[in-house]
Amino acid sequence: MYKRGDEKAIIGYTSGVFDLFHIGHLNLLKNAKGLCDNLIVGVTSDELVSYKNKRAVINHQERMEIVRNIKYVDAVVPQNDMDKFAMWERLKFDVMFVGDDWLNTPKWKELDEKFKVVGVKIIYFPYTEGTSSTLINKTLKDLRGKEDK
């Protein structure tokens, strides 16, 4: 891992589906990398995406390869379950990055407290308004529906 002089390298972690890669994804990764020395990104497996009754357009291996090739990303790991603390036990990151759409939710309040005990800080980034994979999928579906008429 890269280090700054004699200081311990700060390891950051974030995760997501990263389907239909868009500017919101890029903003998250760029901003996260600006606050750590090494950024590890968990890419949600196809099986885990299905828990939301959704399906990724791009398969897991291809999404991992796309994220791996973003210049802000130092390492990519599969995310096979939602247990962020188990991932910390595996990777020992110092800071975790997440969208502020999760801020103050019961799940993340609990995670924040759990992570404080082990010295991990959670940083919430502003959600990128106006774009998401869900919105892109809806727009494509709507456009295709108009073409069929």
Q: Is 54 a catalytic residue?
A: yes
CB-based contact 81:50 (threshold 8 Å): no
Give the model confidence (pLDDT) of 21-80 as tens digits: 888 899 999 999 999 999 999 999 999 988 666 788 899 999 999 999 999 999 999 999
pLDDT band at 147 (very low <50, low <70, confident <90, very high): low
Give domain status of residue 132, yes or no: yes
Catalytic residue among 54, 92, 109, 138: 54
CA distance 4 to 52: 40
Catalytic residue among 3, 30, 33, 52: 52
Give domain status of residue 4, yes or no: no
pLDDT at 1 over 60: no
How many distinct structural domains can be found in the chain? 1
Tokens of 94: 């110092």
Residue 23: predicted pLDDT? 87
Give domain status of residue 6, yes or no: no
pLDDT band at 102 (very low <50, low <70, confident <90, very high): confident
CA distance 125 to 29: 10
Q: Which CATH number do you get for residue 140?
A: 3.40.50.620
Range of the domain at 52: 11-147
Q: Is 71 a catalytic residue?
A: no
Virtual torsion, Cα 73, 46, 103, 8, nearest 10 deg: -30
